[in-house]
Amino acid sequence: MTGTPADFTSIVARWEAERPDAPAVGLAGTTRTWAELARRVRQVAAALRADGVGPGDRVAVLDLNHPSCLELTLACAQIGAANAVVNFRLAPPEIVYVINDAQAKLLFVGPEFAGAVEQIREKLPTVERVVAVPTEYEAWLGAQQPDPEVYPAEPGDCFVQLYTSGTTGFPKGAMLTHAGMLAHARGVAADFDLSPDAIVQVAMPLFHVGGTSYALLAVSCGARMEFMRTPDPAAILEMFERDRVTHTFLVPALMAAMVRVPGAADRDYSSLRALSYGASPMPLPVMRASLKLFPGVLHQVYGMTEACGVVSSLGPADHEDPAAEHRLVSAGTPIHGVRIEIRDPATGAPVPTGEAGEIWVHTDQLMGGYWGKPEATAAAITPDGWLRTGDGGHRDADGYVYVTDRIKDMIISGGENIYPAEIERVLAEHPTVGDVAVIGVPDERWGEAVVAVVVAAPGAEVDQAELVAYARERLAHFKCPRRVEVLAELPRTATGKVLKRELRKTYTGQEQSVTR
């Protein structure tokens, strides 16, 4: 990564000049070179400007994985705007919230979501134009000549905005910058053997940091990207062999399905250099099966949207060292350019080695802040540049970080971050609910499952199935409770705080009564 330019527009120009005919990005058998990608990005920049998008503006994408999303992100970098990538798994009211919060001027929509957008269109006052991908999109950019003008970006300028839920129950737009993304690329490239000859599979959704940041990592390195519209387990394995994939990032729930694909062990995965996994705990049976299927290439990674992606890694040597088996449950050690400390969450003071506290991160990878939320930004990033992750954990004498719990009570199910406050806010509005607490309990398939524990409102009776259906009308399905339990009252401390640890003890291991 030596000599890397300071912004992504310059990076695209670099690879256009140095590797014009080398493949840059592919999807479903269609591949474009770096010269072709660069030309399209400049056409998109021209089209955005023609539609009145300028410095500081936002556009939004609601689509499954498609190279157009990357082109829009890079074009936004060129003109000083930002691409807000929307989680397509959200429920319609949540999608409305995110698009309106971003104040998106243009909305790019994949065919699977055209009907949903038509239903919410009148609730999107800032959206001046909706562009269907890929049909209208191709005509929209094709009508323009490439625009050579480049906005003089500062390192701290945001060019991509990813949304992460918060303890308030509303999503927050993490403003990811040139400086942050490039710092992330430098650190990951140094630790994961990434170079221009790499073939990077982009399987995770681009609304997720494991999708967009991974694609931009490949752009930074001049590597070839192969997109997957959706992360199908069998198709992932087929792509490993067919396209000689060298690098990928997946979530454990996906890997659990991959190791069960018939004939998985009969394929050739010898091209793989790094198979990274993260975003949720890996069950040990899945870990053992994955180690057998992909020996010598597994990297467990720990990260967050606010840090542009990965901040620590547990490499192949630690995965396969019998003397270090206890480290399989750790998040490894910080990658290049990252410092991690364990601090007392109340005082902010460092705690001794081995003691539990809150995980704090210091790195140039940090976001520029939360879009339009200065108070939330100040709560997350200290004046001296430390990110308070909200995750609880400890660090051993060798510097390995262990994520033991989540101070903010975040649930991770199938690689998705779920905040109980979001679900509690919705369920509390149901007329039969007087009190509610949402917890995560261990689940073999998803890592964790969502359980709602409710107290009936006076004179009311809670119908569990009805409450789940109520949630599914208002929340993405992956956030909805898999079961509902009814108590006479919730356990609380003397100050009135719900004792969620007691609820977890009570309901861990019980039969799941509502399936996805």
Residue 455: which CATH number? 3.30.300.30
- Which of 109-118, 159-168, 243-252, 369-378 comes out lowest in average pLDDT? 159-168
Q: For position 386, what pLDDT does the model report? A: 98
Residues 75-95, mean pLDDT to the nearest whole number: 94
* Rounded Cα distance, 247 and 214, in Å: 10
Query: Is there a domain that residue 515 lies in?
Result: no
Q: Where does 435-493 have alpha helices with state H?
A: 464-474
Domain end call among 395, 426, 459? 395
Residue 516 confidence (pLDDT) above 70: no
3-class state of residue 180 by DSSP: helix
3-class state of residue 190 by DSSP: helix
- Which of 275-279, 296-300, 418-422 comes out lowest in average pLDDT? 418-422
* Rounded Cα distance, 482 and 467, in Å: 11
Query: Is there a domain that residue 408 lies in?
Result: no
Q: For position 408, what pLDDT does the model report? A: 64
331 and 220 inside one domain: yes
Residue 270 confidence (pLDDT) above 90: yes
Residues 187-210, mean pLDDT to the nearest whole number: 94
**pLDDT tens-digit map of 325-382:** 888 889 999 999 999 999 999 899 999 999 989 999 999 999 999 999 999 999 999 9
382 and 443 inside one domain: no
Domain end call among 341, 367, 395? 395
User: The pTM is what?
Assistant: 0.83
Number of separate domains in the chain:
2
Confidence label for 89 from pLDDT (cuts 50, 70 and 90):
confident
Query: Is there a domain that residue 2 lies in?
Result: no
If one counts every other C-beta atom within 10 angstroms of the C-beta of residue 56, the result is 11
The three-point CA angle 321-324-330 to 5° equals 115
- Length of the chain measured in residues: 516
Query: Is there a domain that residue 402 lies in?
Result: no
Q: For position 514, what pLDDT does the model report? A: 42
Residue 495 confidence (pLDDT) above 70: no
442 and 385 inside one domain: no
205 and 321 inside one domain: yes
Q: Which neighbouring-strand residues pair with 62? A: 109
More confident residue, 324 or 99: 99
Residues 377-389, mean pLDDT to the nearest whole number: 97
**pLDDT tens-digit map of 431-471:** 999 888 999 998 888 889 999 999 998 899 999 999 999 99
CATH number of the domain encompassing residue 272: 3.40.50.12780
Query: Is there a domain that residue 512 lies in?
Result: no
Domain end call among 395, 423, 440? 395
Q: For position 329, what pLDDT does the model report? A: 83
Residues 233-249, mean pLDDT to the nearest whole number: 97
- The CA distances from residue 394 to 269, 330, 386, 432, in Å, are 35, 10, 17, 41
Domain with 419, as residue range(s), is 414-507
Residues 84-92, mean pLDDT to the nearest whole number: 92
* Rounded Cα distance, 98 and 288, in Å: 39
Residue 1 confidence (pLDDT) above 50: no
* Rounded Cα distance, 233 and 515, in Å: 20
Q: For position 61, what pLDDT does the model report? A: 98
Q: For position 501, what pLDDT does the model report? A: 79
Supply φ then ψ for residue 98, to 5 degrees: -65, -45
* Rounded Cα distance, 493 and 495, in Å: 5
Q: For position 412, what pLDDT does the model report? A: 83
- The CA distances from residue 181 to 5, 208, 315, 317, 331, in Å, are 12, 14, 22, 27, 21
Query: Is there a domain that residue 514 lies in?
Result: no
Q: For position 282, what pLDDT does the model report? A: 76
How much is the mean pLDDT over the chain? 92
* Rounded Cα distance, 267 and 247, in Å: 17
77 and 106 inside one domain: yes
Q: For position 151, what pLDDT does the model report? A: 97
Strand (E) or helix (H) holding 137:
helix 135-142
268 and 126 inside one domain: yes
Residue 5 confidence (pLDDT) above 60: yes
If one counts every other C-beta atom within 10 angstroms of the C-beta of residue 351, the result is 17
Residues 282-300, mean pLDDT to the nearest whole number: 89
Residue 167 confidence (pLDDT) above 60: no
Chain mean position to CA 335: 18
347 and 445 inside one domain: no
Q: For position 510, what pLDDT does the model report? A: 59
17 and 150 inside one domain: yes
Residue 213 confidence (pLDDT) above 70: yes
270 and 366 inside one domain: yes
Query: Is there a domain that residue 409 lies in?
Result: no
Tell me how far apart the terminal alpha carbons of the chain are, to the nearest angstrom: 43
**pLDDT tens-digit map of 44-68:** 999 999 999 999 999 999 999 999 9
46 and 132 inside one domain: yes
Residue 139 confidence (pLDDT) above 80: yes
370 and 421 inside one domain: no
More confident residue, 393 or 175: 175
Q: Are strands 357-363 and 338-343 parallel, antiparallel or unpaired?
A: antiparallel
425 and 287 inside one domain: no
3-class state of residue 35 by DSSP: helix
Highest mean pLDDT of the ranges 85-89, 121-125, 205-209, 279-283: 121-125
Residues 462-481, mean pLDDT to the nearest whole number: 93
Query: Is there a domain that residue 386 lies in?
Result: yes
3-class state of residue 302 by DSSP: strand
* Rounded Cα distance, 479 and 413, in Å: 8
Q: For position 323, what pLDDT does the model report? A: 87
More confident residue, 370 or 415: 370
The three-point CA angle 250-256-259 to 5° equals 100
Supply φ then ψ for residue 226, to 5 degrees: -120, 110
* Rounded Cα distance, 45 and 400, in Å: 44
* Rounded Cα distance, 206 and 85, in Å: 7
Confidence label for 499 from pLDDT (cuts 50, 70 and 90):
confident
* Rounded Cα distance, 268 and 263, in Å: 11
Residue 268 confidence (pLDDT) above 90: yes
DSSP string, 233-288: HHHHHHHHHHTT--EEEE-HHHHHHHTTSTTGGGS--TT-SEEEEESS---HHHHH
Instruction: Express as a percent the part of the chain with pLDDT over 70.
Output: 94
Highest mean pLDDT of the ranges 17-26, 403-412, 420-429, 467-476: 17-26
Confidence label for 314 from pLDDT (cuts 50, 70 and 90):
very high
Phi-psi region of 396 (alpha: psi -120 to 50; beta: other; left: phi over 0): beta
